[in-house]
C-alpha cells in the first residue's frame, strides 16, 4: 500500500461482466436465449462493454444464469455458448462514466445497489482526503 493511502478508500469496485455469445438461434434454444436476456434486463446494467452487476447481485443471479447456460448447451449440443462471464475490478470514476451510457436494470432495488456503492465511495474519498 502506498504511504498515506487509507485501506478503506479503495479506488475500485468488483463487478461481474457478462458478454453474450449466443448469436441467432432457433427453437427451444431461442426461448432459452430470450429468458437469458429477460434475466439480464431485470438484474444487470447494459453497458457498452457488456452487462455488469455488483458482486452481491451476481452471486444471487449466478445459479439461474448457470442453469440457463446448461440448458442452452444441451439444446445446441454444445455447439454454442450462451455467455462469457468474468469478474473485473473497475475504478469508481470509470464506473460512473460507464453508467452514464448504460441502461439500468428493470429491478430498481438492484439498480440502486450500484448507485449506493458509488455514493459510499464518494463519501469515503471525501473523508480520507
Whether 77 contacts 45, CB under 8 Å = no
Helix (H, G, I), strand (E, B) or coil at 67: helix
* Residue 24 dihedral angles phi and psi, to the nearest 5°: -80, 130
Domains of the chain: 12-128 (3.30.70)
Distance CA 17, CA 101 (A): 16
pLDDT(3) > 60: no
Three-state SS annotation for 113-125: HHHHHHHHHHHHH
At residue 19, the pLDDT reads: 92
Residue range 9-30, pLDDT digits in tens: 568 888 999 998 877 778 898 9
Distance CA 103, CA 14 (A): 19
Whole-model pTM? Answer: 0.82
Tell me what percent of the residues of the chain surpass a pLDDT of 90. Answer: 51
pLDDT(129) > 80: no
Whether 128 contacts 10, CB under 8 Å = no
pLDDT(56) > 70: yes
If you average pLDDT over every residue of the chain, what do you get?
A: 86
* Residue 90 dihedral angles phi and psi, to the nearest 5°: -130, 140
Residue 13 parent element (H or E): strand 12-20
Nearest to 110 by CA among 62, 53, 66: 53
Amino acid at each position: 500500500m502506498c504511504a498515506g493511502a487509507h485501506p478503506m478508500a479503495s479506488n475500485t469496485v468488483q463487478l461481474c461482466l457478462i458478454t453474450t455469445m449466443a448469436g441467432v438461434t432457433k427453437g427451444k434454444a431461442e426461448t432459452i436465449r430470450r429468458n437469458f436476456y429477460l434475466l439480464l434486463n431485470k438484474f444487470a446494467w447494459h453497458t457498452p462493454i457488456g452487462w455488469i452487476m455488483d458482486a452481491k447481485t451476481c452471486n444471487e443471479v449466478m445459479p439461474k444464469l448457470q442453469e440457463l447456460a446448461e440448458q442452452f448447451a444441451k439444446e445446441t449440443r454444445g455447439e454454442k455458448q450462451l455467455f462469457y462471464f468474468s469478474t473485473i475490478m473497475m475504478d469508481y470514476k470509470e464506473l460512473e462514466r460507464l453508467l452514464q451510457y448504460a441502461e439500468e436494470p428493470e429491478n430498481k432495488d438492484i439498480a440502486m445497489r450500484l448507485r449506493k456503492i458509488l455514493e459510499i465511495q464518494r463519501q469515503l474519498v471525501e473523508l480520507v482526503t
